[in-house]
Amino acid sequence: MKKARVVAIFRSVQGEGKYAGVPQVFIRFAGCNLACAWCDAPEARDCNASGVLEYTPEDLWHAIEDIQPGTHSIALTGGEPLMQADFLKEFLPIVRAHKALVFLETNGTLPEELKKVIDDIDIVSMDVKLPSSTELSPFWDEHVKFMRVAWGKDLYIKVVISKTTTMGDIVRTVEMISKGDPTMPLFLQPNHFEIDSGVVDKCIEFQDHCLKYLKDVRVLPQLHKFMKIQ
């Protein structure tokens, strides 16, 4: 039986993207395949960090079942939850058996892992990792493959906008989305660490460009940061 490595379990309000404001149970999985320059959950990168706990699929459900009633969905976050896709293959059918919606928050770079669990996922909140923002190598091919796997689900895209984000990366993102589904929501999320450094104005500039090609483009910060909640 697979075991998950988990940093935290808590009930809170979703602060990002299409479902901002809804109550969710969050499961923050340990481990990530990336190390973005502006990561806001660095404690979740290391699977072996102190405080990381292991759960069997049944134990993890028991850990959330008392705080789950009345919530919109179960949010799988991290880190990168798809690094534990083999565990999720065993865990998610338990969640679905209890009629709970499954919400995946992901960096969108592991399409083969997504294939293993996509049938048991309802909502996909996919980050597009812009190389000019993350200071990492580009993942355009991985993102395209990931989107193809997620078609048919409730899928939307988020991109973090920092002081270093270039229009070239925004153009590439728009091209990628418009070739698939120009009605898909795109959220431009100002980097919270630079919120007073002009990134909001930059988001609005980028929004003007995106709306020439996409139907639904929104500027939305991380609301939970302003509310000072998890």
Domains of the chain: 4-227 (3.20.20.70)
| 9-46 pLDDT tens trace | 999 999 999 999 999 999 999 999 998 887 878 777 87
SS (H, E, C) 86-135: HHHHHHHHHHHHCCCCEEEEECCCCHHHHHHHHHHCCEEEEECCCHHHHC
Strand order across the beta sheet in which 23-29 lies: 53-55, 4-13, 23-29, 73-77, 102-106, 123-127, 154-161, 186-190, 217-219
- Lowest-confidence segment of 7-16, 34-43, 165-174, 202-211 by average pLDDT: 34-43
- Lowest-confidence segment of 44-48, 200-204, 222-226 by average pLDDT: 44-48
pLDDT of res. 177: 97
Quick check: 140 pLDDT over 80? yes
| 182-202 pLDDT tens trace | 999 999 999 998 988 899 999
Sign of CA dihedral 175, 153, 218, 73: negative
Over pLDDT 70: what percentage of the chain? Answer: 100
Quick check: 99 pLDDT over 90? yes
* Averaged confidence pLDDT in the chain: 95
pTM of the model: 0.95
